[in-house]
Amino acid sequence: MADKMRLIDANRIVEVAERAYNAWNLANATADSKREINRVYKMMELCKAVRAVAMDCPTVDAVPVVHARWEPRADVPGFVRCSHCRDCNIYEDWPDGKKWNYCPNCGAKMDTQRRREPVREANMRHIRDFEDKQESGLLEED
């Protein structure tokens, strides 16, 4: 058995087992021989057993991993901030030469490189930048 835990979606397993059960139930209607009926019955029982195991397994509290990167701040030279929460501001030059591999504010994992973002994400980034400038007083309101 592997030492590494795998998180799986038990609800999805139940859904697949129920779908398979329904398919075998339809096959039961067309089964001709006793042997076919017995096979279909066994498959239906197997589907019920898989569903029962998935429902009885213990659950863990888990959250999806959020990936982000450190972005340089245009308005505050020498600082970077988290690309996810945009709230954590830290020095760009690290005294010990190491960078944090997560955001201490939101917990995002800092493992993505700057890349071409989809248009929607780029637009949202520009909106957040605009709002940040408004909040810091760099933009004057009419």
pTM score: 0.42
Of how many residues is the chain composed?
142
Separation CA 118–CA 37 (nearest Å): 53
Whether 123 has a pLDDT exceeding 60, the answer reads no
pLDDT reported for residue 81? 86
Is there a contact between 77 and 40 (Cβ–Cβ < 8 Å)?
Answer: no
What is the b/e burial string over 57-74, where b = at least 16 CB atoms within 10 angstroms of the residue's CB?
A: eeeeeeeeeeebbbbebe
pLDDT reported for residue 116? 47
Cβ atoms within 10 Å of 34's Cβ, excluding its own: 8
Which tens digits make up the pLDDT trace of 51-90?
A: 888 888 887 777 778 889 888 888 887 788 888 898 877 7
For residue 68, give the H/E element and its range. strand 67-68
